[in-house]
Amino acid sequence: MIEPVKLEYKIRGSDFINAGEASSGTKKALNRLGVSPAAVKRAAIAMYEAEINAVIHADGGEAEVFIYSDHVIIRIIDQGPGIPDVSLAMQEGWSTAPDIAREMGFGAGMGLPNIKKHSDDMSIETEIGKGTTVTITVRFQV
Amino acid sequence: MATLDQVREVLGAQILVGNDLDQRPVAGGYACDMLSWVMSHAQPTDVWMTILNSINVIAVAVLTDCACVLLTEGVELPPDVAARAQDKGVVVLGTQASTYEASARLHAFLNQHP
């Protein structure tokens, strides 16, 4: 089996300025590897939403990206407060984001639904007081 | 196809950041202030019209590869956001027109210059 290309990023909490660095770095890497533009876009959008969630809700975290020949797995890991009710959080329009996030154009309760929409598989492992890991899979072939 | 240079002139918009506008094709527009929505809907040849001027606007412009960001209603571009746009190669234009007015003008122009 061919080893995947692995990328790692730090996501700093409350840092809206550098939010997006992990997803734009991943986007560049996928483009360089010749992945189709549609798949690159889906991966970048899903990852950016997850990254922003970690910035807004969890004081940052880490991103791990594993690029295989036909898919990418993106894992956003935080040590934040956890999600009390995942099915509620998955509903469009449900949001617990602070006003600062809303003023910046986020916090409309679209983040998790948008990740689901742009990925082939999405899973959330969360524990109250411990943190949340969002794992996103995007396949390159439609 | 219309270029961003032509579109800028028709809209009477100012260049806040960017150059080589004549190299950027424009085929449409997208008007929205909710970033999650813009990410999933804006197209690479769109002029994205918004009143948002936070740093995340540049990240979303990079994600969507949109032709430019058009700040409407005379919204100003903060220096740190301008620097980020410059760094990422994102064109930002500005206009006093509302998003509605700018959309209408863009639509009329693109209809005649498909």
Collapsed DSSP state (helix, strand, coil) of residue A7? strand
Instruction: Residue B66: name the closest of B88, B87, B83 by CA.
Output: B88
Please say whether the beta carbons of B36 and A110 come within 8 A.
yes
Strands A131-139 and A5-12: unpaired
Main-chain phi, psi angles of A26, to 5 degrees: -65, -40
- Which pairs count as long-range contacts for B46-52, CB under 8 Å and 24+ apart, including other chains? B47/B4, B47/B7, B47/B93, B47/B106, B49/B99, B49/B102, B49/B103, B49/B106, B50/A105, B50/B99, B51/B75, B51/B99, B52/A104, B52/A105
pLDDT surpassing 70 at residue A1: no
Q: What are the residue ranges spanned by the domains of chain B?
A: 2-112
User: And the tokens for B77?
Assistant: 């571009």
CA distances from residue A36 to A20, A24, A93, B38 in whole angstroms, order as listed: 20, 16, 31, 21
Nearest to A45 among B39, B52, B55 (CB): B39
**pLDDT given for residue A104 in this prediction:** 86
pLDDT digits (tens, 9 = 90+) for A89-130: 999 999 999 988 888 889 889 999 999 999 999 999 999 999
Q: Which range of residues forms the domain containing residue A126?
A: 5-139
Tell me the ipTM for this assembly: 0.77
Return residues 89-118 of A near B (CB < 8 Å): 103-106, 108, 110-111, 114, 117-118
Range list of H helices, A33-126: 37-57, 86-89, 99-103, 111-118
Whole-number Å distance between alpha carbons of A26 and A104: 23
CATH code for B2-112?
3.40.1390.20
Q: Which residue of B has its CA nearest to A116?
A: B40
- The number of domains in chain A is 1
Minimal Cβ distance to A19: which of B37, B39, B56: B56
pLDDT digits (tens, 9 = 90+) for B46-102: 999 999 999 999 999 999 999 999 999 999 999 999 999 999 999 999 999 999 999
* Smallest Cα distance from A90 to chain B, Å: 14
Task: Yes or no: say if B64 and B40 are a contact pair by the CB < 8 Å rule.
Answer: no
